[in-house]
Structure 1
């Protein structure tokens, strides 16, 4: 190790030769040492072979003494560090204040009173672009924000303007070039979150979340608040074709415990997604964002922060039916409601940007949004219908993808696969007959 450190011009590779089950004569070097319990006889043989004479479930005085010496040495080092840190805080109060802000987990709460953060879009805009605008607002509010993309920053809209890229020459850079290596990027994001002092986000196309999945699973398991910016979220990717059009990925991520999956319908819901991601310190969050422009919809900050809410209500206290949609399909669903209204059919539209947040709400709130008495329900989402059963039940229907996409402009594909106001209205009409 010392020789490797001494060579500052080349990388070093150190091979460590090990043998599985070392010390157990009957199992050493065999796969069974890993896949099966040793058993009492083999365990006793291994202890004798290794010179271990203590009784089971006991720790010898020698081991206690060794650990006590290590603890004393560690305490001395910690005391020295704490004294140095206290002296540093006194000498450099401005830097100390910035340090505290880096570690302030509540810093993002300042945006709750910042109306500009929650401003609706002035024209139809893709949620990836809306997210990019929000990142550049957040960078001045949350100085610890740091992240980047797997070589897709211009497409993911994840670059912080007027900030350098982190490198050997620029250790203060807040943007990161992760390279085309989503799995490693996810691992690096986890490491940043575990280290602390930085608020990590990583980004790629949504279909490539398959590559990050093992690291996302670990982040969820370890309760690491990493944010995943996943753009090009559906068949709306268009000409890139079915290899780049995510179908099953929403269901995959929603099935992951302790993962928040946020698919916003407009600027306000995108802001809610980012706020949720940075305010929750115990869960990773996936922000699933469009390439195509989104309709202007009557969204609600308070509703979006609850994961699901009534975005366009029926005139009746108990609606004839309910359309539940996410992302780019919310605007289509509201337009379908208007078609049905002309026929005397009074339906409610629910925007469901985050199922996980909605499930955290009270039973009373969930009943207000999705009353059990209304059985005619249609889910509308340009992805797999897997997982929508809990909301549409046995009597409902889903306007979702049944197979892979195709290569064509987004508008052509949405029409081909039924993501139109006419088809959504027709699907609800079928339930109300």
Structure 2
């Protein structure tokens, strides 16, 4: 077994081995987890946290702290050990209850659960992209608010990433984007231990990683021995001095370091070492073998220097902010509003209304709304994945965020949907920005893992999904989403809105801005839709309640017609046809299942009277799920197969998404 020399004091060696064995003991107690990476990376993480990372355990949300991302989230015990020893609100009992019900030490780090965890990681590559988004946010906010005498936004983003992270496509998308933007305050340490779950990386991963990142225009350096603290320290210092490139430090480490039989093997990766192997490892590294979760005398005092250091750094920033507020009161107040995502007074008045004599696609209505809304909600910043003209996500007067224009407020993410979403999560997690990003609804599949994490972390990211149905026509089934609305509705904490006309679209943007407890997805049409005559029907503010009566009846209706998005127009037309037959149809626009399900039973029964069992749902997507609203006696009109290439109105007609078909279904139900 290779044995490297620790370039460290005895106390540093004790602290590093404490991290190793807290990790090994916790995994052993849980009989589940990944001990190898924490044992190999302990010296690297220790060096970063004690010599470079500016953070305050007593004030984990301090806005100008450095961000630390454990992209290799399976190494969670490394982070938990650091948080515990540094003085964060994470007790030794929590370490002992690793991966247990109700603990703050889940199997992979969760940002909304554990103090000091910046982002939820584990799905490999996500943390890599999150860090890029954090660096975006730091640069943009610094340009927006800093003055020469008041650098109130000035910090680094660090990450530890693994072989697995760098295999994932999202990391490659994000690395390319970071290199283009010259993100000099982004420093990543790559754990080059040459082991994955299946065995040696040579099985699948023989590329020149350093060469790839150099091609991405990253600054790349190497540390040959993860245990050489001075070399790690010097590499981080070198990276920080490079201001016009992100940095990757390739660190050679030994997974399961110290284990006589499992070091440098896949056996140390994703399973407990075993009681006997833990004992042998402790013996090999001079650690007490007769106790678990051992923290030697002096280690707490040593590592918890972060508490006093962080308090001093936070206090200095507080003083700087006080001076800033005195010198630039309006700018400082705006910075505070951005940090808390508080829109300016009267912002809702900026949201436009549209006349019923207009006809326009909801994607266009979204763009027009965003044009008026964004200047009033300055922190609402985003872009598109190379579909700006189609998504209508640009804002007049906003320039592009580019290396030579760090104050630009429009992001061109390129054809990188997954990295866009991962970076948006990082921007939201950083604070001070509510990001939005556009692509076609069909490509929500490309970014779904990041969107799912937006929801898991309860981050207020806005997804602008256009071209939302078979109505896009000629592009054909590859670009026509049919299952995607239902797939998005299956994600907890995600609010999906599919507005039926321009005014509902404007209201949907209001919902998105005010939704601070999770992501919002807007599903918008390419095709032109009529703007409903609001003198005859209920105003669009019912969007905020998820569903509302768009066309009421004088008495109890004979049938309910329930639609979303572009199909609501067909429900209205069908209701007028049915009226000629003496059938009273109440039309319900239901842009959001999630919002409607949150309403009181009284309101739900007002919109969908329980005594009316004749019900028809209309949505140009799979019908699965609509039975919850139409019940056993109702009918679902939708698209339970892939689309076809033809003009949009032809495809809709061939698939039965028409007023005539809706009316016929209603007649059959009330016959």
Which TM class, normalised by the smaller chain length?
over 0.9
Question: Aligned residue for 1:398?
Answer: 636
Alpha-carbon distance in 2 for matches of 1:9, 1:171: 12
Alpha-carbon distance in 1 for matches of 2:614, 2:313: 66
From 525, 550, 558, the counterpart of 1:320:
558
From 535, 538, 546, the counterpart of 1:307:
546
Q: Are 1:218 and 2:453 counterparts?
A: yes
Deviation of the 1:267 alpha carbon: 1.9
- Is the Cα contact below 8 Å between 1:261 and 1:287 reproduced in 2? yes
Deviation of the 1:109 alpha carbon: 6.9
Deviation of the 1:291 alpha carbon: 0.3
Deviation of the 1:198 alpha carbon: 1.5
Closer, same or farther: CA 292–43 of 1 in aligned 2, 3 Å: same
Higher deviation after alignment, 378-387 or 8-17: 8-17
* Equivalent residues in 2 for 1:265-276, closer than 5 Å: 265-276=500-511
Question: Aligned residue for 1:22?
Answer: 257
Structure 1, residues 91-146: CA drift from partner, whole Å, max 9, x if none?
1123213223323433167344x286344554111000000011111122111121
Alpha-carbon distance in 1 for matches of 2:566, 2:664: 19
From 64, 74, 84, the counterpart of 2:310:
74
Deviation of the 1:11 alpha carbon: 7.0
Alpha-carbon distance in 1 for matches of 2:356, 2:607: 25
Higher deviation after alignment, 373-382 or 91-100: 91-100
Alpha-carbon distance in 2 for matches of 1:283, 1:269: 20
Q: Are 1:99 and 2:335 counterparts?
A: yes
Alpha-carbon distance in 2 for matches of 1:399, 1:103: 45
Structure 1, residues 399-425: CA drift from partner, whole Å, max 9, x if none?
100101111111111101001100011
Deviation of the 1:77 alpha carbon: 1.1
Question: Aligned residue for 1:362?
Answer: 600
Deviation of the 1:16 alpha carbon: 2.6
Deviation of the 1:218 alpha carbon: 0.7
Closer, same or farther: CA 159–51 of 1 in aligned 2, 3 Å: same
Question: Aligned residue for 1:352?
Answer: 590
From 564, 575, 582, the counterpart of 1:337:
575
Alpha-carbon distance in 2 for matches of 1:370, 1:264: 19
Closer, same or farther: CA 281–181 of 1 in aligned 2, 3 Å: same
Question: Aligned residue for 2:475?
Answer: 240
Q: TM-score, normalization: structure 2?
A: 0.61
Closer, same or farther: CA 87–108 of 1 in aligned 2, 3 Å: closer
Alpha-carbon distance in 2 for matches of 1:259, 1:206: 15
Alpha-carbon distance in 2 for matches of 1:242, 1:67: 58
- Is the Cα contact below 8 Å between 1:109 and 1:279 reproduced in 2? no
Aligned length: 431
Deviation of the 1:216 alpha carbon: 0.3
Alpha-carbon distance in 2 for matches of 1:379, 1:427: 10
Structure 1, residues 279-327: CA drift from partner, whole Å, max 9, x if none?
011110000000011122245233111001111122322x222111000
Question: Aligned residue for 1:133?
Answer: 368
Closer, same or farther: CA 52–371 of 1 in aligned 2, 3 Å: farther
Q: TM-score, normalization: structure 1?
A: 0.94
- Is the Cα contact below 8 Å between 1:108 and 1:278 reproduced in 2? no
Closer, same or farther: CA 149–369 of 1 in aligned 2, 3 Å: same
Q: Are 1:412 and 2:668 counterparts?
A: no
Deviation of the 1:150 alpha carbon: 0.5
Closer, same or farther: CA 138–11 of 1 in aligned 2, 3 Å: closer
Alpha-carbon distance in 2 for matches of 1:76, 1:12: 28
Structure 1, residues 171-230: CA drift from partner, whole Å, max 9, x if none?
111111111100010011111101111121000011011111011011101111000000
Alpha-carbon distance in 1 for matches of 2:504, 2:468: 15
SS, match of residue 107 in structure 1? coil
- Is the Cα contact below 8 Å between 1:266 and 1:299 reproduced in 2? no
Structure 1, residues 366-397: CA drift from partner, whole Å, max 9, x if none?
11111222221111000111221211122221
Closer, same or farther: CA 324–108 of 1 in aligned 2, 3 Å: farther
Structure 2 residue runs without a partner (length 5+): 1-234
Alpha-carbon distance in 2 for matches of 1:420, 1:214: 35
Higher deviation after alignment, 367-376 or 115-124: 115-124
C-alpha RMSD of matched pairs (Å) = 2.1
Closer, same or farther: CA 49–347 of 1 in aligned 2, 3 Å: farther
Alpha-carbon distance in 2 for matches of 1:8, 1:268: 46
Q: Are 1:160 and 2:391 counterparts?
A: no
SS, match of residue 637 in structure 2? strand
